[in-house]
Amino acid sequence: MLQLPEKIQIPDDAITQIPELFKTFKKDFIDNKTYFMAYPVIVAPPKNGETYPEVFWHIISQQTQKGSKNNNTRLIDYKRAKRLCWIKPIIQQYKDEQLTSWRSKEFDKNTGKAIYKYYFWYKEGKFMVILNCIETKTKKFFIATSFYVFDSNIAYYEELSNKGEKII
């Protein structure tokens, strides 16, 4: 049975909670390594001048509406941020029967190459975690994102999971 901690309680002024949220992220992915299939899950350090790694922002926030004047603006996403503490246990328990886990080979616009994406969907909790895998001499896993799966997206992810290669 999938073992997950309680969701993080976030007050309405969540923006003031970012340092506390980062403590959870740092504990799970920087201070204590997370492993997937015996390979470390790597977190790229913050870019020059940034306080937090880019992936941290990505997993606690959501891009504003496409077509807005500033497409790079991200706003705190309470549904994502509350589940931040679920990411590590989901990765570690990827074989649990409550998770739908698969991988698919996809084109990565950042690298310009095909990479494997590993998906871990906790349907009951409506939460998805995605890792990118770069294969060089060894496999390197990176957190791509995590997010709340809205009812309107369930059919899409069902179809994607059926096309993917199950992780055993």
Which residues fall within 8 angstroms of residue 20, CB to CB, at 6 or more apart?
A: none
- Per-residue pLDDT tens for 97-121? 999 999 999 988 877 888 999 999 9
Tell me the pLDDT band of 133, cut-offs 50, 70 and 90.
very high
Query: Strand 61-63 and strand 74-76: pairing?
Result: antiparallel
d(CA 58, CA 6): 21
Q: What is the amino acid identity at position 10?
A: I
Residue 147 CA to residue 59 CA, distance in Å, equals 7
Rounded average pLDDT over 63-74: 64
Decide if 140 contacts 130 (C-beta within 8 A). Answer: no
Give the span between the Cα atoms of 42 and 138, in whole angstroms.
13
What average pLDDT does the segment 59-87 reach?
81
At residue 69, φ and ψ (nearest 5 deg) are: -60, -35
Instruction: Give the Cα separation of 55 and 61 in Å (integer).
Output: 10
Helices (H), the chain: 18-26, 54-60, 78-82, 87-92, 154-163
User: pLDDT by residue (tens digit) across 47-60?
Assistant: 888 999 999 999 99
